[in-house]
């Protein structure tokens, strides 16, 4: 069960919006799906072999929220920070845990 006292961060949930051509329309941007209270879990550091350059470290951020419509490929914004949703875990009743990766502000 989710503990309300830990939901200290206000986030905005962003849904991708595509062009008019159904199935082939390009990504036009992101539309707000509303605000939610969230708990930011400890970041996870994973090492992987990058092609040709040795070992790379990938940092993912877990975010716990109350159940609501959200899917892989959406974004979450907290202040100036944006996170790309990589996985949605809804296996526990009453909560959703998002596995996210920070979006590079330069592109």
pLDDT tens by residue, the chain, 107 residues: 677 778 889 999 999 987 776 666 677 889 999 999 999 998 888 877 766 666 777 789 999 999 999 999 999 999 999 999 999 999 999 999 999 998 877 65
Helix (H) or strand (E) holding 63: strand 54-65
The count of other CB atoms within 10 Å of the CB of residue 12 is 16
The residue with tokens 């877990």 is 62
Q: Residues 14, 31: contact at Cβ < 8 Å?
A: yes
The whole-number pLDDT of residue 4 equals 73
What domains can you pick out in the chain, each with its CATH number? 4-102 (2.40.10.370)
The count of other CB atoms within 10 Å of the CB of residue 70 is 20
Q: Any bridge partners for residue 64, and if so which?
A: 39, 97
């Amino acid at each position: 069960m989710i503990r309300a006292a830990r939901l200290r961060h206000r986030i905005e949930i962003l849904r991708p919006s595509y062009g008019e051509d159904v199935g082939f329309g390009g990504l036009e941007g992101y539309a707000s799906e509303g605000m939610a209270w969230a708990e930011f879990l400890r970041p996870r550091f994973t090492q992987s072999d990058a092609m040709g350059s040795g070992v790379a470290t990938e940092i993912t951020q877990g975010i716990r929220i109350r159940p609501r419509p959200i899917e892989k490929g959406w974004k979450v914004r907290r202040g100036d920070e944006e996170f790309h949703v990589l996985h949605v875990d809804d296996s526990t009743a009453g909560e959703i845990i998002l596995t996210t990766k920070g979006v590079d502000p330069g592109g």
